[in-house]
Structure 1
Amino acid sequence: MSDTMQPPFSILFVDDDEMSRNHFARAMSADYNVHVARDADEAMTVLSRYGAEIAVLVTDFRMPGRDGDDLLREVAQAYPQIVRILVTAYADKDMLLQTVNTGDVFRILEKPLRTDMVREVLQLATARYTERETRQQRLLAMDETLAFLAHELNTPLATISLCARSVENDVAAQYDPQRQREIGLAATSMLNNAQYCLTLISSFWATVHKSGGQQSASGGATRAVRATRLIAALLDTYPFVASQRDWVKVDVEGDFVVHAMPNCVALVLSSLLSNALRALDGRSAPSLRVEVVAFPEPEIRIRDNGPGIAPEIKARLLQDPVTTHSGAGGHGMGMIFCNRIMQSFGGCLRIESTLGAGTTVTMGFPGSNGRLHATGDEEPSDTQLASR
């Protein structure tokens, strides 16, 4: 697979009837990756493995053990981004009302299922999933960016506060009283402003987290997003100039799930893309390749055929504020910023460059098994239906 084509959405179909599961899988596998489960417990097992990629849950109501209502409520709590559809052969008004109210059901389908109706509803459901995902990503972007800014600004602001307090207390004796007073007032102003900024950051961040609706950027609450989807979203929204978009090609050797801070990863991608495009400006045949690799380790590589970077500059790019485009306003903090983001969740940034031959920047992600689908000698179980 190459360029910006994304893998299809995945659907989880839950029904205790094997014939129904097989019919649904055959009918829908041409358009979606289909997973199936025979009951609520098996469905939760499938979600624990594939929850990051499943967009829609379609479940029967009447099943042995826990029914569809119980499953819908559990999924609504654990995987709120998944759009939920109920299938029933029973016209029980009270049951349907209770399920809709407690499980946040997108649609209710009556048995026997008609293929054309299911396809229509799934199209609407995946559109709703995309809307939810976009909204959630915007909220996460604010949360993660604020978290990073708070981390980066707290230390220098605290240092300013300490220096200001020291100046305020130790004004040199050689200054006349008027000068001492002026220096003291300036130091007090520095201290007050630094403390104000610290308080403002802390207060704003607390307000964001109390407002609800978004997940934290740390710990288990972090959402998982596929690498190809991050790249496709970036290329769809990046402000390319003139023919720049034509320079970019995407090669996918194996997709994987980005488990940590997807919006901060998107910031890194945007920064690296910007650097590569700037390096290609004026080249006779500009080429920029974005490569996605799942094995042996999950990586995203940004490869350009620009002028390359001198070894003495490349050696300092991830540690010191050096820049190869100071004339265009560069300050040399971009690569340091990107490196710190990658390191914050156990990843890394690597730079390979040859003068006159181009540069490759590799974003390395933690984990050695980030593929979306099982591989190797495993036989597919009933809970894993082969994708198209």
Structure 2
Amino acid sequence: MSSLNNALPTGAQSAHAILMVDDEPQACKWFARLYGDEFVVWTAGGVDEALALLLARGDQVAVLLTDYSMPGRDGVELLSEVRRLYGHISRLLVSACADKAVAMAAVNRGHVEKILEKPLDEAVTRQALREALAGAQRRALDQALVDQRAATLRETLGFLAHEVTTPLATVRGYLAAMRERHHDAPEGGGGMARIEQHKPGDVLFMIEAAQRRADYAQSLVSTFVQTARDACRSDAPLSPLASDLVAAVRDEYPFDPGEASWLSCDLTADFRLPGRRDLLYLVLSTLVKNALLALRPALPDDPRVCIALGAAAPAPGLPEQSVIRVSDNGPGIVPEVLQRLTREPVTTRADAGGSGMGLVFCRRVMGSLGGTVDVRSMPGQGASVTLYFPPVEETRA
């Protein structure tokens, strides 16, 4: 059983104990002594005692083994309650020959997964406990994965909502400005309304900027819609190439006028990415946005943002991993902020709507893929963020 436990994440390993329920104290002692060499065995002397133990430590119980005939509430009643309240627990019933009809009814109603006859055969019981424990841990693992995916989905959708809201707020601002400048056509003017310009070209600038941000918001939504469709297909496509991801961000990001010329890309060390495009697209877009925002307040003579594909070791002595590095030649990050980045929400742009969640989100996405995020900076010497990716097999099984 140790090899199975080592293969499971912590959440699934927490369900590990065998709970044996019998109203005969000697039977409980005998069971714990005989099977305690292989399993963690807890015992209870009746239904109420077992339910009290489960209320306190139910997440740690993997298998319930209960006698049928007990005074007061019987074993089938206990199994029914456990099925309702603790879906991950494997349920086994011990019965004598006289109880077989009741036991079979319990099987048919789904209260119990297996019946063991008295007196217990040690070899048969050990194998039944091994199989039940493995099944419970798999169910716990499945539920942990479902819970993790649900939490990731909630967090991702929240961050996506923020990323979509920001460009849409800009669009609304430009539309409100144009509405304020709108003038109805005067009587006899041929029905031609006009929008007043404060300086040459500023209306066209607002229209084009609004269009870029609307397109970017649409690209985010479209990416997630396509991912949802792919998730329902049995022939899901191979993981994307890093160069394709960089090209998508380069082509779809809503750069302000002139900003696109700041961006350079080195795609020579291409590699295949783990995970789906949607989250990684958000990650890379976030890093590009952060670099641009760092440059805008005090532009250097030659503003630069570089996206480079390559290979690097995350720490001395470790093997190299494929990386995407986003760097800029902006003002850099002060040490007290740098040491907190990626671990907690930190922003120096709260007045501009910054929440500080960008790098935290990036770290969580990379962590879910088995990768890491490293941020390096010196004040006055720009900053770089490196995404380290685990290797990806070239073909699917």
TM-score by length of 2: 0.49
Larger radius of gyration: 2
Greater RCO structure (CA 8 Å; 6+ sep):
1
